[in-house]
Amino acid sequence: MYRWLALLLFTLPTYARPQTHGVAPALLPRYSPSAQKTWTCLDGSKDIPWASVNDDYCDCADGSDEPGTSACPNTSFYCVNEGHIGSTISSTRVNDGLCEKECCDGSDEPAGVCANTCKEVGESYRKEYEAARKLRKTGSKIRSTYIAFAQKEKKRLEAAIEASEKEIAEQEKEVARLKDIADRTEALSAEELEIKKQSPLYTSLLTHSAALKSLQREHKKHLEREKALGEILDTMRSNYNPNYQDMAVLEAVRGWEYHAGLPHIGEAEREEGVDEDDDAAKEDAAEEVPEGEWTAEELEHQLDTLLETDYVSLLMEHDKHVGPAESAAETLLYDVPAYLPDAFIPQYEAFRDSLVSWLAKLGIIRDPASRDAGDASKAREAYNAADHSLDLAKKELEKANEELSNLFDPTGYGADGEWKKLDGLCLTKDTGDYTYEVCLFGEAKQKPNHGGSTFSLGKFTSWHPSHDVAPGSPEYYSQQAYTQGTKCWNGPHRSVKLHLSCGTDNALLGIAELEKCEYLFTGTSPALCLPLEDEGKTKDEL
Ligand code: MAN
């Protein structure tokens, strides 16, 4: 029945079509007849009469003579779609009785078969296009704030790295210094240390330290006493009765006011109660400290640290500056290589070591390997503590360097760092039975709404898992994979594919479990809204 209708319409001469029917605009200039009304196939293989173009019979090997029919295999057909956008389809779909969606002008079928809907299709397309443009414009503005965030983050990390490198260099020097002290302290025999400890400088230092400690103790006692006395005098100052004309009390009050830098208290003030500005009084009382001496505040806060000084380590360090004090017998022994030709030194050292070890075994000298643990441990502890904090600082630096290199890594936070701001952002979607959650670059979860256990649906593994999609391309950022979640009973580990598109909000829109324990999340993010190509251009340029 339909065939008959098509045949009938074919035979109707009503809507005559141009001979270039189906030719794409780029090829139109090549479809014109010669003066002799002939035409050359596009591949140049043959000249045919112009009338044979689009006569529903395939003449050219490349099929170029039938752009508007389905007579030649493997060719394409172009529908103009006036009022909308032109489109190309395979010629096999021409004149097949079906109105192709791509050809809203109906030109793929004989005239009159398909209605021309291009006006409506074009209008709704333009509406949607405009809405999408608007969305992209708003979204890309948000995206640019994400990029600015990454730039700021970059500066912060660079500054932190620079500071940390400087600090590490300083710490390394300090560790080397402490190691040297620890090594030398440990290498030193107890006997030698005793000799060193007899140094007048060291003994005087210990005496100074003991004296300082005693002074500190007495000072504290006096401070407490002064405070108590001050409180007594303060009470007397505000409560005494001037009507009794007690000169002793008055003198004591005036004396205290002068001493404590307090203003002269009058009748009215006494009644209201004393409320002087404490700080102002203290400031008045503050005295100038001679250069090099400590202020009261320094005394209060730094004296304890000074008194904790490891004097043995200091003694070792002092040695470095003034040259080691030498213990007679061993020094002579160990200095021998200085008098030997180089070639004899190895034999000498072997001999010396075994002699020393024998003498030690026989109890004649102290084993140089034996340490005075008490003296050495403080120095070793100081070195270990410094070395540990150096290790921590190095780890911090490593972390900061890694963060910096991830920041603009296309396989990480994007070439512009646009995803950094969203690192760890959790999006949720309630589907009734479950609330699904994905924390970007972290973990996806399935939380039951009516009791039961939460399942991990996997951790972030990569952007677009397909190898065909180039890292850094817009398509690459349209998918994230979360894998190795809780194992499914009799099935795979749970996993999620998160499909993202441009939107003004970071949101999860849909959840589907396509296969058992394989979930598809769909969502939007402004990070995917690339700026419009024409943005930044003036109206005249467009
Ligand atoms: C739970 C949920 C479901 C899943 C089954 C598989 O009920 O994680 O999504 O399909 O386990 O046993």
| Consecutive H or E run containing 37 | none
Model pLDDT, residue 127: 96
Cβ neighbours for 117, distance < 8 A, ≥ 6 positions apart? 104, 106
- Residue 371 in contact with residue 186, Cβ under 8 Å? yes
CA–CA distance, 248 with 499 (Å, rounded to integer) = 91
Q: Name the residue at shortest CA distance from atom 9 of ligand 1.
A: 517
- E-strand spans in 80-225? 87-90
Pocket test for ligand 1, best of 434, 445, 453, 513 (most atoms within 8 A of CB): 513
Query: What is the spatial distance between Cα 167 and Cα 516, in angstroms, rounded to a whole number?
Result: 54
Half-sphere exposure of 26 (CA within 13 A, CB side): 6
CA of residue 512 to ligand 1 center, whole Å: 12
Residue 482 CA to ligand 1 center (angstroms) comes to: 16
Q: Is 490 in the pocket of ligand 1 (CB under 6 A)?
A: no
Q: Is 244 in the pocket of ligand 1 (CB under 6 A)?
A: no
Chain CA centroid to CA 227, Å: 53
pLDDT at 360: 65
455 Cβ below 6 A of ligand 1 = yes
The parts of the chain modelled with pLDDT lower than 50 are: 1-14, 280-281, 324-325, 328-329, 331, 371-372, 537-542
The neighbour count for residue 457, using CB atoms within 10 Å, is 27
Which pair of structure tokens corresponds to residue 311? 């004097």
Residues making up the chain, counted from first to last = 542
Contact at 8 Å (CB) between 522 and 508?
Answer: yes
> Which amino acid is residue 43, in one-letter code?
D
Report how far ligand 1's centroid is from the alpha carbon of 449 (Å). Answer: 14
Test site for ligand 1: of 436, 446, 488, most ligand atoms within 8 A of the Cβ: 488
How far, in Å, from the CA of 476 to the mean position of ligand 1? 29
Q: What is the distance in A from the centroid of ligand 1 to the CA of 513?
A: 9
528 in contact with ligand 1, CB cutoff 6 A: no
The pLDDT, as a whole number, for residue 328 is 46
Is the CB–ligand 1 distance for residue 492 below 6 Å? no
Q: What is the pLDDT of residue 310?
A: 82
DSSP secondary structure string, 466-526? -TTSPTTSTTGGGEEEEE--SBPTTS-B-EEEEEEEE-SS-EEEEEEEEETTEEEEEEEEG
Residues contacting 206, CB < 8 A, separation 6+? 311
Question: Of 438, 431, 534, 416, which is closest to residue 483 (Cα–Cα)?
Answer: 438
The rounded Å distance from CA 61 to ligand 1 centre is 58
Please choose, from the candidates 500, 470, 407, the residue with its C-alpha nearest in 3D space to the C-alpha of residue 146.
Answer: 407
Q: How far is the CA of 522 from the centre of ligand 1 (A)?
A: 19
| Ligand 1 pocket residue status of 446, Cβ below 6 Å | yes
* Alpha-carbon gap, residue 148 to 74, rounded angstroms: 51
Using the atom order of ligand 1, give the atom closest to the CA of residue 519: 9
Unique residue bearing structure tokens 């403080």 = 378
The CA 455 to ligand 1 mean position distance, Å, reads 9
* Spatial distance between the Cα atoms of 513 and 455, rounded to a whole number of angstroms: 14
Q: Which atom of ligand 1 sits closest to the CA of residue 489?
A: 12
Mutation test residue for ligand 1: of 433, 456, 517, the one with most atoms within 8 Å of CB: 517
Sign of CA dihedral 52, 56, 59, 63: positive
498 token code pair:
């998160």
Distance 57 CA to ligand 1 centre (A): 60
- Does ligand 1 come within 6 angstroms of the Cβ of 487? no
User: Angle 328-335/345-361 helices, nearest 10 degrees?
Assistant: 150
Q: Whose CA is nearest to atom 3 of ligand 1?
A: 517
Give the span between the Cα atoms of 8 and 3, in whole angstroms: 8
The pLDDT, as a whole number, for residue 317 is 79
Cα dihedral 444, 473, 411, 516 sign: positive
Which own/partner pairs from 291-296 qualify as long-range (CB within 8 Å, at least 24 positions apart)? none
Decide whether any atom of ligand 1 lies within 6 Å of the 15 Cβ. no
Our answer on whether the CB atom of 518 is closer than 6 Å to any ligand 1 atom is no
In angstroms, rounded to a whole number, what is the distance separating the alpha carbons of residues 397 and 8? Answer: 82
Using CB atoms within 10 Å of the CB of residue 36, give its burial: 0 to 12 exposed, 13 to 18 middle, 19+ buried: exposed
* Residue 87: strand, helix, or coil: strand
State the burial class of residue 472 (Cβ atoms within 10 Å of its Cβ: 0-12, 13-18, 19+): middle
Does 488 sit in the ligand 1 pocket, CB within 6 Å? yes
Q: Quote the pLDDT of residue 7.
A: 40
The pLDDT value recorded for residue 241 is 81
Residue found by looking up tokens 């003296």 in the block: 375
Tell me what pLDDT residue 538 has. 42
> Is 513's C-beta closer than 6 angstroms to any atom of ligand 1?
yes
Distance 22 CA to ligand 1 centre (A): 53
- CB within 8 Å of 180: residues ≥ 6 apart: 320
Angstrom distance (rounded) from CA 489 to CA 455: 12
Q: How many alpha carbons fall within 13 Å on the CB side of residue 380? A: 11
Which helix (DSSP H) or strand (DSSP E) does residue 79 occupy?
A: strand 76-79
Q: Which two tokens stand for residue 344?
A: 């004899």
Query: How far, rounded to the nearest angstrom, does the alpha carbon of residue 53 sit from its chain's CA centroid?
Result: 64
Does ligand 1 lie within 6 Å of residue 519's CB atom? no
Distance of alpha carbon 86 from alpha carbon 104, whole angstroms: 9
